[in-house]
Structure formats: structure tokens, C-alpha cells
Amino acid sequence: MRIQPRRQILDIWRSVIKSSYRDGVWVWSSGDRPNSLADAEQLICLLYPATEVPALALEQPDVMAEDAVKALEKFGDPRVIPHRLVEVIEDYVERHTSDGEPVFGGGDYLFSDDGEPTGAQQSMGLVDSYSLSLTLCLSALGFLSVYKPQPGRRATLTARIETLQAALSRRLTAAQIGLLRSFVVKTVGTEGDDLKVRSAMLAMVNQDVDVDTVVVGRLRERLQRVRTLLMDDVRLGVSTDSALHEESRLFEIGWGWGIVLGAPEVELDLAKSAFETAPLIASVKGVAEARPYLYSTVLALDGINDLRSQRTRELNLLDDEQRRLAEALHTRWDLTQRYWSTIARFGREWPLEDIPWRTSDGEESDYYSLLVSAVLVQDLENRTATDDDLNRAVAVFEALAQRGRITRRVTKDDASVAMHVPGVRMRLAGTSEPPLFWHARDFAPLLLKRCLQAAALSANRSARDRLMRLAETTMDHLDKRRIHTGPATGLWDDPAETLFPDEDRPGETAPSWSMTERVIEALIAGSRTYQAQPLRSPGMRSRAEEALHEAEHLLNQLLVQSDSDDSSTRSTQLVDIERRLSRAREIITAQPGTANALALAALLSLDEMSVARANASRGV
């Protein structure tokens, strides 16, 4: 299935409105038991594309795209759509604010094998919610900053928007604090319980089967800069591990599933923030086990990416305290990508290529390999990626697609299906009784997103084509998993036909906003990939230059032979050819293939004119 981000996002918008906007009221999926995460995903499906894909912007009714208006026609006419969005954003903020404090609970996304999670457990802040709140708040603030200045806006509406901007700013600050206090540096010694963790880490990175002391020495050398910066630059919101300076110890960095046990408080300069008093999230005691979770780490990196975006800077969406927090998060973002990229590519044989990835606590899954690949792609996106790096990453993606039954059929009693449904099971270590778990089931949309991001990086035509073919196949897989009946038709996730072909399984009718939001993220990544310049082949440029040289020479010959005052059709043709060659010369660097086509078209026209001239001279 060809990936067409604009059309596919509009199709999802139609389904979102049909599912969520009924009888003039926005209906939240979490109903009477608010789930900040599910509700954020539901709203992001509508708001994020409107702020990340310029052609689908909704802030200015007069310039709103016709196809966007048609997709949202049940939401209102172009003048009403922005106002409706303001109402929905207001409702979200109100639902997930308690006593003036932003709430980040995961609600019924959390489950236990030993009974229903307590209300306190369901309201615990999660890194997933912090990260998505960054995306949601920045999208909403960007939307409001453009919508607000329009002339003729009623004073009451302007006041509402300013109140909403302040509430979103508070939520954004709280989410930043939550991410800072969820970051963790975990060192691993050589005694007691650490010995088992150390052995698991060395077994994963030691693909060349070297002596452990040699591997530790090489790791210490490769990660020395990360270790030094962690000790010198990472202070805010994370306790300094006194053992980090012991170079014989291995270490991991990343994000826990929530605010980690022992995370120090974060102090705010209230005069520079949207808060009048210090928010509880800055000082609340953490409960999450102080170790990195790959799942949470990838989500945190994605959210911080939005903090760093050009749009955030251009619209000046951050206040002074948020800029300070963003700088601290950026330091962690950079070091985390450096760390996991180094681990993934350590040695001659990459640990990443040894699928499935095994975490330091002994868990292994193809999904963890995909998560490490996701960090690697983000790191390559911000550094110079070599052809070897990308070619090897492509091979990993292709292997994961096969093992994940994206490019291979599902077999009877296929164990790979569980990675999609119910998803990879992760224990939220540190929670009190009953112990809590989480299911991650976004393997397919995550693969789609990272393939599209990697394709944008590749300067190798073959690697790029392989990535795009894999992305299209993954989109085929996801398209088959759309819901086919009920008000949620067109959304995700109905895996019955694709993942359970031999079972008489009833189709799903309730939307999974988590899956749908992940698909939206992937389509936005696809839009960014297509907006980049096409690959520039040196060979094609050489051929274009040769064709241009010949065409310009032949044109000059004809111009010498032509009457400068000639107003005939022949003179008009010469002017047209000259325009084509001028255009080809302008774009030969950026679009050598197009330049070559223009030069060849000019050559064909010049030859036809030459033949006509020769025939005329012979009286033919």
C-alpha cells in the first residue's frame, strides 16, 4: 500500500470525528474514569497533524484546506472548527487537573494479575503520559498562539484562550519535571545481585566472544565521554550515583516507567513560570524502580524531540523556566542516544543484530530489538550516518518484520502474535500490592515510523528503496487491522483477520487510541520524509551535465543561424528550449534526474528542428 500521509491522515480524521463527536458533544474514550493517557492520545490524533503538517493547519479558517474542511465537516464549518478545538482542549485540561495540579495517571491501561489496581495506583504518573503531554501541550499552545491573534476575535473568547494557555503551560512544566525526575543512571557492580545483571549486559554486548576484561575496557573507552558528562552536567532532577566514577562498573541510562525512587526534588523559579506555588510533582516521592526501561526511554526521547522542534522555537512557546528544564532534558536526550547507539553498534558484530535483544534484567523480545533500533535511528538522524550503519539497520528492520509476521504469514499457534496482542508484558517494578503490569502492543506502527525516518536519512538508493518497500508492506499490515464495523470504523485495532486467521474471533468495535495515535505519528514521519529533497545521484548529475552541455551547444548553433527579429513558430520554439535549459541548470544539484529529463526534452526538440531545417533546405 502506497503511503500517502495527507490522504491517510484525513481518512483517520473522518473516523475520529465520527467516533468522538456525537450529537454536538466530544465523547472521551475513558468516560467517567478519566485516563490522562488515553484521552491525550485521542486528542493528539486530531491536533498533532494539524500542527505538524502545514497543509492540514486548522488555525486560520480563511486558508483551511478544502479536503481538511470536508474531512471535518461533521465537526463544523471552517469558522467553527478552531472554536470546537478550543472547547475540546479546555475539556481535556479540566478533566486532568485536580486541585490545580496536572494529573498524569494511566488509569485502566494498568492491570494486575491479583485484582483491580487501586485508585492511587491508577493515578500514578507515567513517563508515557509525561511524554505525550509534551506533545499535546506544545501542539495546543502552537495552535492557540496562531488562532488567538486573528482580528475580530471576541474579547470573551480571547480571555478563555489566555486562561487555557496558562493551564497548558502549567501542564507542560509539570510534564517536564516528571520526565526529569524519571531519568535514571544505574551502575552495576561485581558482587551480589549486581553480578547477574552484569553478566546479562556483557553477554549482550560481547558478540565477538572476547574476554570480559577486554570488553569492559573497550566499553569504558567508548562510553567515557557519556560517563564524564553524566558526572559533570547532569544534576537537575537526578541523584548523582556516587559509584559512577568507579570505571570498573558498568552502567545504564534512560527513563524509568515513572518518577524513580530516590529522585531529588526540582526547584522552580516561580516568578519565571506559570505556577504560583510549587507543583506537587516537583517533590512527590518516586516509587518506580531506579532502572531504565527501553519502552519508556524511547517514548521520552520522542517527547523531548517536540521540545526541540523548530516550530517550538519559532512560536516562542516556552517560558524561561521551561527553557531551563528543556535544556536539562536535552542533555539527557543527547547522552541517552549516545549511550544506546554505542551499545547497539559495539564491536565488529553488532549486538543489535543478535535478535532478540536481551535487557539487563534478563527479559528478551524482538520488540526490545525494535526499541533499540528506534534509538539508533534517532541518533543517526542527529549525526552523520554512514552507508554501512544504514545498510545494517535496514537488515535489522527486515529481520524484525519477518519475525514479527509483518512480511510473513502467521502460522498456527504462532508465538509472535503475542507481541502484537495482547502485547509485550512489562512489570512496573516498585509498585505496591497488587503488582502492576503494562502491555506494549505498538510493534507494527513503531516499525513503520522508524523505517520512514531511516529512509529520510539514507543517501543510498538501494537502502532507501528497501526501507520504503518495508514501510509500505507494514502499512498494508496495519490497514488490514482497521476496525470495520461500528462508529470506530477506520480506526485501530482489529487484529482478528490478520493475526488470528484460523480462529473464529469476533471483530473489535472499540477504538484503541494508543494504536491509532502511533499510526498518526508514523504518518507524520512519512510526511516529513516526503518533504525532504529526493536523493541526488552523482551519476545522474553527470549524465544531466553531459546532456545540458550538448543541448546548450546545439541551441547556440541554431541561435547563430536564426534571424534575431524572427517572430515565427521556430523562434518561439527556441525561446521555449532556452527556458527549459535554464531551469535544468538551476535545479541540477537538487534534482539531477529532473534536470536530465529537461535537457533530454530540449535535445529532442533541437533534433526535430534540425531535421526540419535540413528537409527544408533540400526542398523535401
Q: How many CA atoms lie within 13 A of 463 on its CB side?
A: 23
Domains along the chain with CATH numbers = 5-186+254-531 (1.50.10), 538-618 (no CATH)
pLDDT digits (tens, 9 = 90+) for 439-463: 999 999 999 999 999 988 877 788 8
Bridge partners (DSSP) of residue 358 are: 364
**What are the C-alpha distances in Å from 300 to residues 434, 497, 525, 615?**
26, 33, 17, 72
How far apart (Å, rounded) are the C-alpha atoms in residues 176 and 484? Answer: 38
How far apart (Å, rounded) are the C-alpha atoms in residues 581 and 599? Answer: 6
What pLDDT is attached to residue 534?
Answer: 66
Q: Does position 433 have pLDDT exceeding 80, yes or no?
A: no
What pLDDT is attached to residue 537?
Answer: 66
Q: Does position 303 have pLDDT exceeding 60, yes or no?
A: yes
Q: Where are the alpha helices (DSSP H) in 417-537?
A: 443-457, 461-480, 496-499, 513-531
**What are the C-alpha distances in Å from 215 to residues 203, 218, 250, 476?**
10, 5, 11, 42
How far apart (Å, rounded) are the C-alpha atoms in residues 429 and 438? Answer: 11
Average pLDDT of the chain to the nearest whole number: 90
Q: Does position 430 have pLDDT exceeding 90, yes or no?
A: no
pLDDT digits (tens, 9 = 90+) for 261-281: 999 999 998 888 889 899 999
> To the nearest 10°, the Cα dihedral for 611, 612, 616, 617?
-30
pLDDT digits (tens, 9 = 90+) for 544-599: 889 998 988 888 887 777 665 555 677 788 888 988 999 998 888 888 888 899 99
pLDDT digits (tens, 9 = 90+) for 28-85: 988 888 899 999 999 999 999 999 999 999 998 889 999 999 999 999 999 999 999 9
pLDDT digits (tens, 9 = 90+) for 146-168: 997 666 667 788 889 999 999 99
β strands within 165-279, DSSP E: 183-188, 250-255
DSSP state of 448: H
Q: How many CA atoms lie within 13 A of 422 on its CB side?
A: 8
What pLDDT is attached to residue 266?
Answer: 92
Ramachandran angles phi, psi of 452, nearest 5°: -70, -40
DSSP state of 280: G
Q: What own/partner pairs with CB < 8 Å and gap ≥ 24 does 17-22 have?
A: 17/46, 17/71, 17/72, 17/74, 17/75, 18/74, 18/487, 18/488, 18/489, 18/490, 19/487, 19/488, 19/491, 19/511, 20/46, 21/74, 21/75, 21/84, 22/487
β strands within 227-380, DSSP E: 250-255, 357-358, 364-365
Q: Please give the average per-residue pLDDT across 289-297, as a whole number.
A: 94
Overall residue count recorded for the chain in this entry: 620
How far apart (Å, rounded) are the C-alpha atoms in residues 99 and 283? Answer: 16
pLDDT digits (tens, 9 = 90+) for 501-551: 988 888 899 999 999 999 999 999 999 988 877 666 677 888 888 999 898
Q: pTM of the predicted model, to two decimals?
A: 0.88
